[in-house]
Amino acid sequence: MNLHELIILLLIGLFAGFISGTFGVGGGIIIIPALVFILGLSQHQAQGTSLAMMLAPIGIFAVFNYYRAGYINIRFAIVLMIAFIAGAYLGSLSAINISSLWLKRMFGLLILAVGLRMIFSRA
C-alpha cells in the first residue's frame, strides 16, 4: 500500500463512518463502490474487504450514543446479530461462486431498488 492509497482509504473510511453514524449504513453503499471504482478492486475483493473491516467493533461509539439516547432495542439487536452471522456465512458461500461482473450488477440493482423504495415510499 502506498501513501496515495492510504489517504484514499482514510477518506473512504471517514466518509463511510460518517454516513454510517448518520444513516446506519456505510459498508455496502459507500465502501464497496469506492473500493471498486476508486481503487480498482474486484467486486469480490471489495465485499470481502468490507466484511473484514466490519469484524472489529467499528461502530462502538455510534452504538453507545444511540444506546444512551434510548434508541437501541437490545433483544432485536441480539436476534439480528445471530441471524446476520448465519446469513453472512451462507451469502458468502453463494457470492464466491458468482462472477464478479454479475455480482456487481446484482449489487447495483439491490442498491437501486432500495433507493427507489426509500424515495417513493409514502411513510
CA–CA separation, 92 and 97 (whole Å): 9
57-114: pLDDT as tens digits: 667 888 888 899 999 889 988 988 898 889 889 888 988 899 999 989 998 898 899 8
| pTM recorded for the entire structure | 0.67
The ranges assigned to domains in the chain are: 3-120
Residue 104 CA, chain-centre distance (Å), reads 14
* Angle separating helix axes 43-54 and 74-95, nearest 10 degrees: 150
21-68: pLDDT as tens digits: 776 676 678 888 889 999 999 888 988 888 778 766 667 888 888 899
CA atoms within 13 A on the CB side of 46: 25
